[in-house]
């Protein structure tokens, strides 16, 4: 099983990125978590460039999503909204064939960042993501100086993420079958 994980932050010391980077350590056995680090390399979305073939960084993002059975996103909030870099990536995925019905979990690294999560949910629902609600979690990471290696053992964080990953992975086979074969699977 392959899960693609994306941080919506470009910041070097991002708590969102640290959570994403901890996921491979927290995934159940037999699950590969691939961290996509190409956010900064995407061109600004322009429908005139969304042709076949799309720009190489866009093609790579779409390919990675096509290879994944599930997607995890953790994105910061800026000015009560989603980071521009994350929104840009999502704009490139709107017309992609790889994105619709992908099983998705949202991780929120800041309990007060409710606006970004609401915006992400609205955008992703419009794009036909299949939310795995029991795997969407808010992690109280702010103010804690934890590395990705520290997160699995951190009280109140490691167990929360481990449980979320287990619930996500448990839901993926049925959602993946529905994604590939429709409701008749």
Q: What is the CATH number of the domain that holds 29?
A: 3.40.50.360
Contacts of 39 (CB under 8 A, 6+ apart): 6, 7, 8, 10, 85, 86, 89
Per-residue confidence (pLDDT) for residue 99, from 0 to 100: 96
pLDDT band at residue 6 using 50, 70 and 90 as cut-offs: very high
**Whole-number Å distance between alpha carbons of 20 and 105:** 12
Share of the chain above pLDDT 90, in %: 85
> Would you say the pTM of this structure is higher than 0.85?
yes
Q: How confident is the model at residue 141 (pLDDT cuts 50, 70, 90)?
A: confident
**To which H or E segment does residue 109 belong?**
none
Work out how many domains the chain is built from and give that number: 1
Q: What is the mean pLDDT of residues 131-151?
A: 91
Q: Tell me if 109 sits within 8 A of 144, measured CB to CB.
A: no
Give the domain range for residue 9.
Answer: 2-181
List pLDDT tens digits, range 92-133: 999 999 999 999 999 999 888 899 999 999 999 999 999 999
pLDDT digits (tens, 9 = 90+) for 154-179: 998 999 999 999 999 999 988 888 88
Cα–Cα distance measured from residue 67 to residue 26, given in angstroms and rounded to the nearest whole number: 20
Tokens (6 digits) for 67: 């290879």
Q: What angle do CA 73, 5, 150 make, to 5 degrees?
A: 95
Does the pLDDT value for residue 185 go beyond 50?
no
pLDDT value of position 144: 81
What stretch of H or E contains 166? helix 158-181
Kindly state the percentage of the chain with pLDDT values over 70. Answer: 98
| Average pLDDT along the chain | 94
* Per-residue pLDDT at 7 exceeds 90: yes
Residue 143 has pLDDT above 80, yes or no: no
């Amino acid at each position: 099983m392959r899960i693609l994980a994306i941080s919506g932050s470009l910041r070097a010391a991002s708590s969102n990125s640290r959570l994403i980077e901890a996921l491979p350590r927290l995934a159940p056995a037999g699950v590969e978590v691939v961290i996509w680090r190409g956010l900064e390399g995407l061109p600004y979305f322009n429908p005139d460039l969304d042709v076949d073939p799309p720009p190489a960084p866009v093609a790579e993002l779409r390919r990675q999503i096509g290879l994944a059975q599930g997607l995890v996103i953790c994105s910061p909030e800026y000015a009560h909204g989603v980071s521009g870099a994350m929104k840009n990536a999502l704009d490139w995925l709107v017309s992609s064939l790889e994105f619709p019905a992908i099983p998705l979990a949202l991780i929120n690294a800041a309990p007060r960042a409710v606006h970004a999560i609401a915006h992400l949910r609205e955008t992703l629902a419009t794009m036909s993501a299949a939310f795995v609600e029991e795997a969407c979690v808010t992690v109280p990471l702010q103010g804690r100086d934890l590395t990705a290696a520290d997160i699995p053992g951190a009280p109140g964080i490691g167990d929360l993420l481990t449980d979320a990953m287990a619930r996500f992975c448990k839901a993926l086979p049925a959602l993946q079958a529905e994604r590939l074969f429709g409701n008749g699977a």
